[in-house]
Structure 1
């Protein structure tokens, strides 16, 4: 056998051995997800603007229970496939009225066996919709949680036609604005820290200010939300430069907007992410034409999940980001009519699912 053939045979055998070893490696996997559950209101009249979702306006106990059942059907399936049989270990949610609706949700027979715990705070949103955090107790143990308020004042971010707009808002008591203090009320950002199978991880759940009044006019509010999100992450990095952070939510902005690209500093490519940086896998998905919601026949990805740099180091001795997805099964999609192809949304007259598709990522870790 000549020298060249000997080298080739050695490389061939070595490659086979390495491939065999790689195939023998086994990984743990957890699904982390986010879902805008669209107006998850109970039937009880409370001190918020929930009149649309009350029995006298058609939102009955039967419809509320059907809405809960529909959402549980979605949750039990998010991220499941041939490789992952388990429902989400972690689920961030938004547009929930109170803790009670989350308690009803986790008791639904489809997901009751998952034994989800709940983290929830009432937010200052005048419609009474909040963010929340669900976790499977057997996998995740919270060690701390806090709601971080977003303080925005109209005279700081929008001076154009201020007096005219103040007068207009005074006639609309359901808007999230106080004409006296000039504060724009919106959802808090929820920070949860805990142990995922023994490893410390951090989650931030968001529902940023809406585009009410127009995208351009309302953009400064979401830019402020992006800066707050970054401030929370920087505070975690100051304590631990290797902090593993996942920020998720309905941002009411796309992956390309200033609030995400500059406020958070999210990057499209892993190679662009430096220490203390954030990777956004949903930016490429948006470029590929995917969507989590539709408006006027135009799709976009407002529901996003981003991970801090330690998640993309390919160090599988700890939890690492693997891949992301949008849960848009056929049963969640309108099949006819004007909104064919849109998410099968909810309304007081007909309990559907949501006007948003859930999103998720997989975390993996090598089993020893």
Structure 2
């Protein structure tokens, strides 16, 4: 009996510590979910590929398996607690995020936001966040106007109030792909960067110390023109007090800093194309989240999240994320992208 009581006390103590530690930071994550479609035909969308009689032979059974797999990865984040703020892309509509939450993440107190997208396939961006920690104050939806009236995903923004104390602006992106060639399609991603930057400037005009978190699948890397020159997200290697001092001495509060740059500089990536790793999925923050005293990015907490169970173990694609499909062949995996994660410290 004494032994059992001792074990219980140790467990209770560990649980309390975990809860206390969890209140000391905000866990942020982003993941491209790789075509999270339902199996019903939407006559307003080009979703024929993901129907029972379509090329992918998509059905409710495969959707349930996809839900299970996604939830397994999400639950494993943040030491088994799941992320507090979770941006996603490649989801057909909000109902799918709500279904994922109600079926597999019902104990996490999550709610979702995912406005309808003008994208011809109907895929859109979305955000999931903890309702016990955050209150949704405002939603922003910015359409990217491309040449030839090409329709692409909305840039989704939310203004969140954390426990009636701190306000965060979070923007979720899925920029136009590199289809047709990287340089040929670059102008589309530049348009997306300019659209987002315009919104960011509006936020800074209202609050020059705004705490901004930008995340997404940008289909460009940290040193590409769209991110570096048009979004104005600077590379950062968060490794010294000297770096903080340098940023502190700058006058421009509207600076943005790319947390993914360090991993990118080490040759890491979130998506593998042919034989090359690409850091397409990134998290970018405002200056206040780098130098802030009460609320700030935890140095070097950005990482490409690779739980062992979602990595392809053998063959040509060894080391890559285990996807749902290989071409049109159903594999029953997770996604063709790894998620990216970071932590914000709360003093």
**TM-score, structure 2 as length reference:** 0.85
Counterpart position of 1:102: 97
Counterpart position of 1:200: 167
Q: Is 1:338 the equivalent of 2:338?
A: no
Asked if 1 retains the 8 angstrom alpha-carbon contact of 2:73 and 2:307, the reply is: no
Asked if 2 retains the 8 angstrom alpha-carbon contact of 1:208 and 1:222, the reply is: yes
Asked if 2 retains the 8 angstrom alpha-carbon contact of 1:79 and 1:327, the reply is: no
What is the CA–CA distance in structure 1 between the aligned matches of 2:118 and 2:190, rounded to whole Å? 19
What is the CA–CA distance in structure 2 between the aligned matches of 1:91 and 1:103, rounded to whole Å? 13
Counterpart position of 2:76: 77
Q: Is 1:320 the equivalent of 2:296?
A: yes
Q: Is 1:144 the equivalent of 2:138?
A: yes
- Following superposition, the deviation at residue 290 of structure 1 comes to 1.1
- Following superposition, the deviation at residue 281 of structure 1 comes to 1.4
- Structure 2: runs of 5+ lacking an equivalent: 1-19, 237-242
What is the CA–CA distance in structure 2 between the aligned matches of 1:185 and 1:38, rounded to whole Å? 19
- Following superposition, the deviation at residue 196 of structure 1 comes to 1.5
Residue 282 of structure 2: which of 304, 315, 323 is its match?
304
What is the CA–CA distance in structure 1 between the aligned matches of 2:221 and 2:156, rounded to whole Å? 21
Counterpart position of 2:63: 64
Q: Is 1:30 the equivalent of 2:21?
A: no
Counterpart position of 2:116: 122
- Following superposition, the deviation at residue 343 of structure 1 comes to 1.0
Asked if 2 retains the 8 angstrom alpha-carbon contact of 1:64 and 1:351, the reply is: no
Count of residues in Structure 1 that have an aligned counterpart in Structure 2: 307
2:293 alignment partner, SS class: coil
What is the CA–CA distance in structure 2 between the aligned matches of 1:275 and 1:359, rounded to whole Å? 26
Counterpart position of 1:294: 272
- Following superposition, the deviation at residue 131 of structure 1 comes to 0.2
- Following superposition, the deviation at residue 350 of structure 1 comes to 2.8
What is the CA–CA distance in structure 1 between the aligned matches of 2:81 and 2:64, rounded to whole Å? 24
Asked if 1 retains the 8 angstrom alpha-carbon contact of 2:118 and 2:151, the reply is: yes
1:143-200 Cα offsets, whole Å, 9 max, x none, are: 01021111111xxxxxxxxxxxxxxxxxxxxxxxxxxxx2121001001002012211
Counterpart position of 1:91: 86
Residue 152 of structure 2: which of 170, 177, 186 is its match?
186
What is the CA–CA distance in structure 2 between the aligned matches of 1:138 and 1:196, rounded to whole Å? 9
What is the CA–CA distance in structure 1 between the aligned matches of 2:324 and 2:46, rounded to whole Å? 18
1:78 alignment partner, SS class: helix
Counterpart position of 1:40: 36
What is the CA–CA distance in structure 2 between the aligned matches of 1:102 and 1:232, rounded to whole Å? 25
**TM-score, structure 1 as length reference:** 0.80
Q: Is 1:352 the equivalent of 2:333?
A: yes
- Following superposition, the deviation at residue 207 of structure 1 comes to 0.2
Asked if 1 retains the 8 angstrom alpha-carbon contact of 2:255 and 2:287, the reply is: yes
Of the structure 1 ranges 50-59 and 274-283, higher mean CA displacement relative to structure 2 is found in: 50-59
Q: Which runs of 4+ in 1 moved over 3 A?
A: 270-274
- Following superposition, the deviation at residue 309 of structure 1 comes to 0.5
Of the structure 1 ranges 41-50 and 88-97, higher mean CA displacement relative to structure 2 is found in: 41-50
- Following superposition, the deviation at residue 124 of structure 1 comes to 0.7
2:312 alignment partner, SS class: coil
Q: Is 1:364 the equivalent of 2:341?
A: no
- Following superposition, the deviation at residue 352 of structure 1 comes to 1.2
1:56 alignment partner, SS class: coil
1:150 alignment partner, SS class: coil
Asked if 2 retains the 8 angstrom alpha-carbon contact of 1:115 and 1:137, the reply is: yes
